[in-house]
A = this chain, B = another copy of it.
Amino acid sequence: MSEKRTIGILGGAGQEGSGLAVRWAAAGHDVLIGSRDRARAETAAAELTALLPGGTIRGVDNAEAAHAAEIVVLTVPYAVQQATALAAAESLRGKILIDVTAPLAPPKVGTVQLPAGGSAVVALQQALGPDVTVVAAFQNISAHHLRDLDHVMDCDVLVSTDSAEAAEAVIALVADAGMKGWHAGPLANSAAAEALTSVMITLNRKYKISGAGIRITGGAGH
C-alpha cells in the first residue's frame, strides 16, 4: 500500500463508498464511512468490516468523517453533492476532497446531460473555494465489484486535478483499491469522466455488461 492514510467517505454507506471503503481498509488504511444518519453508517460499517481479512471500518456521521480524515471522499448522489460538501466545508480546508460525482439527470441517466459549465466537480471546486483541493476520480468504475475483494478490477481510473501533488496521492489510492490511475489533466477534464458515466450505463444496458469500464491503451505494456 501507499503511505497509510485516514480516509473519510461522505455517503460511505452507499454502494460506491462502501466498495472503496472495503478496498482501502483491506489495503491497511484507516477508513471512516459517514452518513447523514450515524446509525445507518454504523450498521453499514459493521457489515463491511465482516468482509475484511482484518481491521475495522468505522461508521460515523458525515461531519465526523470529514473532520477526522486527512483525505475526504464524496460519494453521494448529484442532487446532494454540493450540500453535503458545503456542510463539511470547514473540515475540508487544507485537505484533498476526492469527488466521484457524475451529474446524472434522472430518469435519463444513460444520456449525457452535463451541467452549465461542463463539470459538476468544477462547480463544486468553485463553491468550496481554493482552500480545498478537489480531485475528480472513480466515476467510471463498477461499484458492485469493489466490495468483492476476490474480484480483480478490470478498469482504469481517470484522475483530474489541477494539483500534481494531489494527483500523485490519489493515484496511489487508486492502486490501493486495485486499479490503475492516470492523471487525466486539470480538474476541467473531469467533464470527460462525468460524461462517460452515462455512456457506461448505456453500454451496460445495450450489451448486457455487468459493469462496463474503460482501460487506456497505447501505453507501455500494451
Contacts and interface: CB of A to CB of B under 8 A. Distances in A.
If over half of A's interface residues share one DSSP class (helix, strand or loop), that class is named, otherwise mixed; here it is mixed
Contacts of A154: 217-218, 222
Interface in A132-178: 142, 154-155, 158
Given A112-B118, A118-B118, A196-B196, A207 B189 contact: no
Nearest to A214: B214
A218 B213 CA distance: 6
Contacts of A155: 217-218
Contact of A202 (B110, B112, B189, B210): B189
24 contacts: A110-B189, A111-B186, A111-B188, A112-B191, A112-B192, A113-B188, A114-B114, A114-B118, A114-B191, A155-B217, A182-B207, A183-B206, A184-B199, A184-B203, A185-B199, A185-B202, A191-B191, A195-B195, A207-B220, A209-B218, A212-B216, A213-B217, A214-B215, A214-B216
Interface size classification for chain A: 35 or more
A207 to B, nearest CB: 6
A155 B214 CA distance: 10
Interface of A: 110-114, 118-119, 142, 154-155, 158, 182-186, 188-192, 195-196, 198-199, 202-204, 206-207, 209-220, 222
B207 A219 contact: yes
A72 to B, nearest CB: 24
A184 B184 CA distance: 21
